[in-house]
Structure 1
Amino acid sequence: MESIHEIFLPRMQAYRDPVKGFGIWQVSDKETTEYLGRILIRPMAFFTDEPDFNDLELGWRFFKKAWGKGYATEAAMAIKDGIATQAGSQYVSALAVEDNLGSIAVMKKMGMQFVKKYDHKDPIGDFVAVHYQMKVK
C-alpha cells in the first residue's frame, strides 16, 4: 500500500487529464459488467524532460482469465480512436518486454508496426523494450 500511495498514485495523477482523456480506463465485460483490466493512455516519454504529445502511449493490464478473448485489442482500439484523434496526435505507440507475446499480438492486431528494441529507462524500473507504433487515422 505504501508503494501505491507514494509512487503509483502520484505518478498516475501527473499524466491524468480528464479533458484530453489521458489516464487509466477501466475495461469491463459489456454483459456482466465484470472488471477485466485497464487501458492506459498518455503522451510518450511522459516522465522525461521532453514528453511527446504527438505520440500517445497505450498500455494494458488484464486479468489472466480475460487473455486471448480480444478484450485488450477492442478496448485499446476504442481508446485510440476516441482519445488520439481528439488530442490531435499523429501516432499511437505501445511498449512491451520482448517475451510478452500476448501484448505484441495486440499491437500487431491493432495495425502497429515494430519500430525498435531498446533499453527503456523509467523511474520505477528500466527494462529492454520493444516499441510498436501506428499512425492515427
Structure 2
Amino acid sequence: MPKRPSTFLETDRLVLRPFTDADVPHLLALDNDPEVMRYINGGRPTTADAIRDRTLPRLLHDHPCTGTRGFWAAEEKATGTFLGWFELRPLADHDATVVELGYRLNRAAWGRGYATEGARALVDKGFADLGAERVTANTMAVNAGSRRVMEKTGLTFLRAYTEDWPDAIEGSEHGEVEYVLTRAEWEARQA
C-alpha cells in the first residue's frame, strides 16, 4: 500500500494533504463532471493528458515564500474519500502577502459544509502561519454557491468586473466578482 502523503491541515471532518501522481484518477473524475466544471469551462470534458501535463504540475508547485504548495487534496477524515481540492496560493511566488482562496469539490460533497469548513481553516492558517495580509477569491457572478462559501468564510464583496473569455460559457456575460478579507478584518473577528 502506498504511503499516505503528510497532512497539511485537518479540520473536524477534513484532511488536506499534498497532491501526488496517484491523484490523477481523482482529478480526472472531478474535472469530467459537467456540473463541477460548469463555471470553470462550461462543463467540457478534460483529458487524462491535460490532467497529467497541465493540472498536476500546477497542483504540485511549491511556493518559496510560504514553504508550501498552494493546492491540497481534500479527503473526508472519517473515510479517506477524495472530495476535491482547496487552494490558498500566493499570487506571486516570492510574496506571501496576497493569496488566492479557491476550492473545487465533487458533487457528493456539495451542500454539506465542507467548502466553508476547509476554506475557513485555510484562511486562518494563511493569516496565522503563512504571512498572508490579504485573501482574495474570484468566481463568476452567477455562481451563487461559491459566492455563499466566500461570504460564510468571512470574505466580503469587493468588485464586479469582466474578462475576455477565450471560449465564452453560459453566464460569463454577467462577469466576475472578487471577494476579499484583510488581516485586520480577520484579527478583529478573532477578538
TM-score, with length taken from structure 1: 0.79
Aligned counterpart for 2:135 among listed residues 89, 92, 96: 92
Q: Structure 2 vs 1, CA of residues 104 and 52 (structure 1 numbering), >3 Å: closer, same or farther?
A: farther
Aligned counterpart for 2:63 among listed residues 17, 20, 29: 17
What residue in structure 2 maps to residue 3 of structure 1?
50
Matched, 1:74 2:117: yes
Q: Deviations over 1:79-107 (max 9, x none)?
A: 11113332212111111111111110000
| Whole-angstrom CA distance in 2 between matches of 1:101 and 1:21 | 30
Matched, 1:54 2:101: no
- Report the structure number with the largest CA radius of gyration: 2
Aligned counterpart for 1:64 among listed residues 85, 96, 107: 107
Equivalenced residue count is: 132
SS at 1:3 equivalent:
helix
SS at 1:94 equivalent:
strand
The one-letter code of the counterpart of 1:23 is G
Aligned counterpart for 2:153 among listed residues 110, 115, 124: 110
CA contact (8 A) 1:42 1:58 kept: yes
Give the ranges of 4+ consecutive aligned residues of structure 1 lying more than 4 Å apart after TM superposition: 120-123
| Whole-angstrom CA distance in 2 between matches of 1:36 and 1:6 | 22
CA contact (8 A) 2:139 2:146 kept: yes
> How does 1:116-127 map onto structure 2 within 5 Å?
116-120=159-163
For structure 1, the 5+ residue unaligned runs are none
Between the two proteins, what is the percent identity of the paired residues?
A: 34
Q: Structure 2 vs 1, CA of residues 80 and 4 (structure 1 numbering), >3 Å: closer, same or farther?
A: same
SS at 2:159 equivalent:
strand
CA contact (8 A) 2:90 2:98 kept: yes
Q: Deviations over 1:81-137 (max 9, x none)?
A: 1133322121111111111111100000011111111234799x9x63210001233
TM-score, with length taken from structure 2: 0.59
What residue in structure 2 maps to residue 26 of structure 1?
73
What residue in structure 1 maps to residue 176 of structure 2?
129
Q: Structure 2 vs 1, CA of residues 24 and 122 (structure 1 numbering), >3 Å: closer, same or farther?
A: farther
SS at 2:63 equivalent:
coil
SS at 1:39 equivalent:
strand
